[in-house]
């Protein structure tokens, strides 16, 4: 049996590490929200700041703060600089 190394990270560790950083949140509908991850809870409800809404890759709206219900989230990704 293979042992898990001490440096192995869980999804919860990843989510804690990206708080306050730029992220992309993709919804089940295909819409992307890009902004700063302010906080999230165990249900994947997300609060974002400086949020931009992209539909089919095109900017549609800009929001100061946005709240996204967790059951709509397909994935959360960090933004590569």
pLDDT at 11: 84
What is the C-alpha to C-alpha distance for residues 15 and 41, in angstroms, rounded to an integer? 10
Average pLDDT over residues 28-44: 94
Q: Is the pTM of this model over 0.95?
A: no
pLDDT of residue 42: 87
Q: How far is CA 5 from CA 8, 12, 47, in A?
A: 6, 17, 32
DSSP conformation class of 12 = H
pLDDT > 90: percent of the chain: 73
> What does the alpha-carbon distance between residue 44 and residue 31 come to, in Å, rounded to a whole number?
17
């Amino acid at each position: 049996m293979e042992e898990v190394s001490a440096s192995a990270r869980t999804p919860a560790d990843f989510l804690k590490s990206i708080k306050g950083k730029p992220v992309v949140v993709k919804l089940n509908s295909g819409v992307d929200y890009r902004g700063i991850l302010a906080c999230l809870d165990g249900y994947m409800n997300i609060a974002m700041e400086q949020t931009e809404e992209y539909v089919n890759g095109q900017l549609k709206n800009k929001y100061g703060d946005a709240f996204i219900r967790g059951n709509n989230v397909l994935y959360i990704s960090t933004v590569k600089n």
